[in-house]
Every structure is written in structure tokens, then in C-alpha cells.
């Protein structure tokens, strides 16, 4: 799937900072990264549940949503992230009021530090089957994409396509299949200094460091990177609003880190996570997802996220 995006008016690109990484090493790697870091820090904004009440049970008629202030375009202050908007239509379909319990920490902390602590009740945008939680029916499926300048006419959808292999500068997020792809292409060492420049050379040792999605897209738009490789929702908004015409291409789900090694998925079903014993809430969510399907599909379309067929 390849989509060429026409430019928007100047100055329209939204600001963003960070989002959790789609880690190809799975839950164990996320747990290890979290174990290295400190305890949660809470932030309460107007209209959101105060930090003092964060651990209290939900009031009747509320849906407490675990949310980060620093995970644009997924979740951000003002509830303007696309997952924030999906959470709002989900709560409405459930006949509940959406209450965002927010943290100033990245999304990788939402399950361990918030959901498991009973500070909130749902986490948006987890992989279907995530072992840490009970997951809802998927509400969309998408995958990793290549982002290139449209004037470069790169329409490849495979990591090992000659048009991709011949590129020299790659923008990507850490802890992701993209990092493994660049290593497999033999381009990692040549790109190491450039990749760390995207986070101002901050060390990844003992702390969570990530490249914002808008930075990946701007690097391609400026011509500083030949191609960006990212999980589609991390970059779709910024591709759509770029003043430079860009092309976003969903990658074929066919990659392994080594020749003949196990396959690393590039397509993912996205679900809502709840605590494993919260079966009643999970049933409500599954019913509400069907009811809210038209609104959810519109939010995803407005965001510019390329949506795949289930299990494609």
C-alpha cells in the first residue's frame, strides 16, 4: 500500500514529542527497560482526574483512561491525540464519561506504573495478545512504513528492495524492527552518529530515549534522511500535514533479523488493554467497539493512518 500525500499549508505540522516503541523483542525487553528507570511521576490537568485521587476506584459512570502527556500523536495534553479521541468515543458508546489519568512519562510506563497500580482502568493501543494485560478485540490493524519524498519516486515496500538498500541515510526509532532492518542492511554503523544526533546524543544507558515521530518525518522532508522507517501511527499525522509532498508505503510483513532466523512481525493488530481479572469491563469494551466502529474509522482516516485488513 503506497499513499502519496499532497502538501498542506505552511506551518500546519503539529508539535510532538514521544511515543512508546514498537519493540521487536517484545514484552520482556520493555520490562527490562522499565526496571532500569524510576517510579512514576503524575500530572493532573484541568478536567482530568487529580493525582491525589489517582489510586481511588473509578466513580460510577466513568472510564478511567491511562494516558501520557508526552506521546503525541497518540496521546497528549488537551486530549488531542488520536488515541485520546478514540477513548472518548469508546466511553460515549459505553455510556460512560471519559476521565484521563495522565502522567508526564512515556507510554511504555502505562501498564506497569498506572494500570497495574489501579490508577486507571484501560490502556489504549496495545498489541492484541499483549501478555501483560487482557486485550479487547482489535479496533484496527496497521504496520511499519517507509516514508520518502515523493519526488524521489521510491515505491518499494520491502526492506531488502534495491531502491531501499541503495539509500545511505535512515531515520528510525530505537528498540524497533527498523533498527534491526538497518543492521541487516549493513548500514547501522554508518548511520550511528546520525541516529544519535536525532536525540542530541543522549545516551540510552539506564534511561528511556526515543526519537519523536515528527522528527523522523521532518528529516525526510528536509532531505537530511533518504528514508524513515517507523510504525505507521507514529508518523502518519506528520506525513499528512507536511508542506513537502511525502509518500508513505506499508512494508511487506516479511522480515527476520538474520538469514533464516525467526520472523519479526511488521503488521500489528491494535487493541485496548485492561487488567487480566477485569472481565466485565473487557466485555463492555468489546460491545462498545462495535457500536463506535464508524467514529473510530473516521478518526483513523483523519489521522492518515493506513489501515490493513485483519490478519493481513
Beta partners for 256? 263
Query: What integer pLDDT is reported at residue 205 of this predicted model?
Result: 84
Residue 125 reports pLDDT greater than 60: yes
Residue 267 reports pLDDT greater than 80: yes
> What values do phi and psi take at 246, rounded to 5?
-125, 155
Beta partners for 153? none
How many beta carbons lie within 10 A of that of residue 40, not counting itself?
A: 17
Nearest to 249 by CA among 157, 131, 150, 119: 157
Residue 112 reports pLDDT greater than 80: yes
Task: Indicate the fold that domain 2-19+142-250 takes in CATH.
Answer: D-Maltodextrin-Binding Protein; domain 2 (3.40.190)
Tens of pLDDT, residues 281-297: 999 999 999 999 999 99
Residue 87 reports pLDDT greater than 70: yes
| Banded pLDDT at 56 (limits 50, 70, 90) | low
Residue 71 reports pLDDT greater than 90: yes
SS (H, E, C) the chain: CEEEECCCCCCCCCCCCCCCCCCCCCHHHHHHHHHCCCCCCECCCCCCCCHHHCCCCCCCCEEEEEEECEECCCEECCCCCHHHHHHHHHHHHCCCEEEEEEECCCHHHHHHHHHCCCCCCEEEEEECCCCCCEECCCCEEEEEEEEEEHHHCCCCCCCCCHHHHCCCCEEECCCCHHHHHHHHCCCHHHHHHHHHHCCCCCCCCCCCCCCCHHHHHHHHHHCCCCEEEEEHHHHHHHHHCCCCCEEEEECCCCCECCCCCCECCCEEEEEEEECCCCHHHHHHHHHHHHHCHHHHHHHHHHHCCCCCCCCC
- How far is it, in rounded angstroms, from Cα 223 to Cα 243? 13
Query: What integer pLDDT is reported at residue 311 of this predicted model?
Result: 63
Residue 146 reports pLDDT greater than 80: yes
| Banded pLDDT at 184 (limits 50, 70, 90) | very high
Query: What integer pLDDT is reported at residue 4 of this predicted model?
Result: 40
Question: Mean pLDDT, the chain, as a whole number?
Answer: 85
Please state the domain extents for the chain. Answer: 2-19+142-250, 27-139+269-303
| Banded pLDDT at 76 (limits 50, 70, 90) | very high
Tens of pLDDT, residues 194-252: 999 999 999 888 788 899 999 999 999 999 999 999 999 999 999 999 999 999 999 99
* pTM above threshold 0.85: no
More confident call, 221 vs 11: 221
Residue 169 reports pLDDT greater than 60: yes
| CATH dotted code for 27-139+269-303 | 3.40.190.10
Query: What integer pLDDT is reported at residue 63 of this predicted model?
Result: 97
Query: What integer pLDDT is reported at residue 299 of this predicted model?
Result: 98
Would 2-19+142-250 and 27-139+269-303 be classified into the same CATH topology? yes
CB within 8 A of 167, min separation 6: which ones? 154, 226, 227
Residue 262 reports pLDDT greater than 60: yes
Amino acid at each position: 500500500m503506497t499513499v502519496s500525500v499532497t502538501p498542506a499549508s505552511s506551518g500546519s505540522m503539529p508539535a510532538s514529542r514521544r511515543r512508546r516503541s514498537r519493540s521487536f523483542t517484545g514484552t520482556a525487553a520493555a520490562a527490562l527497560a522499565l526496571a532500569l528507570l524510576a517510579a512514576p511521576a503524575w500530572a493532573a490537568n484541568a478536567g482530568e482526574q487529580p493525582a491525589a485521587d489517582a489510586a481511588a476506584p473509578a466513580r460510577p459512570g466513568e472510564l478511567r483512561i491511562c494516558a501520557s502527556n508526552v506521546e503525541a500523536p497518540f496521546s497528549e495534553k488537551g486530549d488531542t491525540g488520536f488515541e485520546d479521541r478514540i477513548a472518548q468515543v469508546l466511553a460515549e458508546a459505553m455510556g460512560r464519561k471519559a476521565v484521563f489519568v495522565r502522567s508526564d512519562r512515556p507510554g511504555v510506563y502505562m501498564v506497569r506504573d498506572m494500570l497495574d497500580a489501579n490508577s486507571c482502568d484501560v490502556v489504549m493501543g496495545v498489541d492484541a495478545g499483549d501478555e501483560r494485560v487482557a486485550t479487547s478485540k482489535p479496533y484496527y490493524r496497521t504496520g511499519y512504513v517507509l516514508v520518502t519524498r515523493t519526488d524521489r519516486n521510491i515505491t518499494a515496500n520491502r526492506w531488502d528492495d534495491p531502491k531501499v538498500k541503495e539509500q545511505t541515510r535512515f531515520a528510525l526509532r530505537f528498540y524497533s524492527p527498523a533498527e534491526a532492518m538497518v543492521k541487516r542492511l549493513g548500514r547501522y554503523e554508518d548511520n550511528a552518529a546520525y541516529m544519535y544526533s536525532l536525540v542530541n546524543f543522549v545516551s540510552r544507558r539506564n534511561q528511556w530515549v526515543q526519537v519523536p515521530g515528527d522528527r523522523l518525518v521532518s528529516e525526510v522532508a528536509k532531505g537530511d534522511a533518504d528514508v524513515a522507517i517507523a510504525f505507521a501511527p507514529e508518523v502518519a499525522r506528520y506525513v499528512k500535514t507536511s508542506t513537502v509532498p511525502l509518500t508513505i508505503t506499508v512494508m511487506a510483513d516479511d522480515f527476520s533479523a538474520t538469514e533464516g532466523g525467526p520472523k519479526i512481525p511488521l503488521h500489528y493488530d491494535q487493541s485496548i488493554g485492561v487488567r487480566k481479572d477485569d472481565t466485565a469491563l473487557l466485555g463492555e469494551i468489546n460491545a462498545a467497539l462495535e457500536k463506535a466502529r464508524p467514529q473510530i474509522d473516521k478518526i483513523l482516516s483523519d489521522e492518515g493512518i493506513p489501515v490493513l485488513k485483519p490478519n493481513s
